[in-house]
Amino acid sequence: MAKNIDKIAILTSGGDSMGMNAAIRAAVRYALGKGVTVYGVRHGYIGLIENDIFELDYQSVSNIIQKGGTMLRTGRSDEFKDPEVLKKGIKNLTDRGINNLIVIGGDGSFRGMCDIEHHTDVHCIGIPGTIDNDLAYTDYTIGFDTACNTVIDAIMKLRDTAASHGRIMVLEVMGRNCGDIALYSAIAGGAEYVIVPEAPVDIDEIARSAKEGIDKHDKSSTIIVLAEGKKEVKEELIKKVAEATGRTTNQVVLSYLQRGGTPTMADRVLASRLAVRAVDLALEDKNARVLGVKGNEVIDVDVVEALKMKKKFDTKLYDIGRLVSK
């Protein structure tokens, strides 16, 4: 240890993601085993401002690993962007002798870390918790796998109804400007088409291809997965596909169903691995580092550099989806 760190705090910020509780549990129990006092901050950065900070023990994190959401609750705070408000919030930590903070969240939460680094002496470590999988420095984020499994389950259920009625289903999924949820789920769920913001879309070609599938292959159903980052094409898509095929074309917006539910094994394990490493870095008094995985190895990256990175779209995976779907 660089110095004797005997207290750390943990908060979750931004949108909830499945596996946050697993990360909280692992961090708390690992830190307690190291003789460190652990505090939780409710409602993210809002809790710092409002001094909603409390001590956590083994019992506090009992029976939460299987639960979605976050037992610390979460939120977004524009107010925290004000340096004076930020300093007030951080003082609520330092008044308790806490100078090391673990932040679980996405890019907005990590920007909050940057602000803390710039304006105070409190050291922060970040854990990527977002279903969108939109952070370029890491292969996967906590919650992504569970969100994809939720979408896959929806595809399977929509397929039953679509096949029974001879319909076409357009399923809109989350991800903001990242198409990973749509892409991975479409491939794993056997959808015929996937539309993502990273790739050009030819609606006329989709309509023509859908008609060909019905005419030549007697397809009883068609599933089109649409990333929300490309939802501006939805109205035209539904209209042209329905006109070309002569089939009822329904839309389903999965929305917040993707953010809740029991986290998968993959998300629980990822969360636990990253949380333990986050505590180690905190106890080494490291600052402004964010955790991730590359090639199944846990990595840590400077938060400013991580936020500068541009995510590369997996064109090979996208091509695989196009080749095996029709």
CA separation for the pair 258, 283 (Å, rounded):
34
Which residue is listed with tokens 């599938």? Answer: 213
User: Active-site residue among 132, 145, 267, 300?
Assistant: 132
**Which residues are paired to 7 by β-bridges?**
37
132 is catalytic: yes
143 and 129 in contact (C-beta within 8 Å)? Answer: yes
Q: Is residue 167 a contact partner of residue 150, using CB atoms and an 8 Å limit?
A: no
Structure tokens at 290: 């964010």
Residues tagged active-site: 132
